[in-house]
């Protein structure tokens, strides 16, 4: 289910976007966007948060300009929203997904 992609920024860092299963409810997916030094570091950040199966194979769904802008302006450099969300839906900090997972 992990589909996604990445884009390399002019400074050498990357933005990785992945579709992952929700941590508590496998009925729907989330779109997670990570800003990191490289692709492996982005995947390590997700793995440390409990997304152990996060893999990036290919570049089928690279981050959109909206996703890049949102993650670059977020202090943690790690955001999410429901995969099927409309583009007008706000991005959430990854800490709110962790709270949802802990409460569920």
DSSP string, 6-62: EEE-TTS-EEEEEEEE-SS-TTSEEEEEEEESSHHHHHHHHHHTT-TT----S-SSP
CA-nearest of 73, 49, 54 to 16 is 54
pTM over 0.75: yes
Report, as an integer, the average pLDDT of 8-16.
95
Q: How many residues does the chain have?
A: 104
In this structure, the number of other CB atoms found within 10 A of the CB of residue 34 comes to: 28
DSSP tag of 5? E
pLDDT at 29: 86
Number of C-alpha atoms within 13 angstroms, CB side, residue 5?
11
54 vs 12: CA distance, rounded Å: 22
Locate the domains of the chain by residue range. Answer: 3-86
Report, as an integer, the average pLDDT of 9-18.
95
pLDDT band at 28 (very low <50, low <70, confident <90, very high): confident
């Amino acid at each position: 289910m992990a589909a996604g992609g990445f884009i390399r920024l002019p400074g050498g860092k990357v933005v990785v976007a992945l579709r992952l299963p929700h941590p508590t409810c496998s009925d729907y997916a989330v779109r997670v966007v990570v800003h990191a030094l490289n692709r492996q570091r982005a995947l390590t950040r997700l793995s440390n948060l409990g997304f152990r199966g996060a893999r990036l194979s290919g570049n089928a769904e690279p981050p959109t300009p909206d996703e890049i802008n949102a993650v670059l302006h977020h202090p943690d450099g790690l955001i999410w929203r429901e995969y099927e969300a409309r583009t007008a839906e706000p991005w959430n900090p990854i800490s709110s997904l962790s709270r949802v997972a802990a409460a569920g």
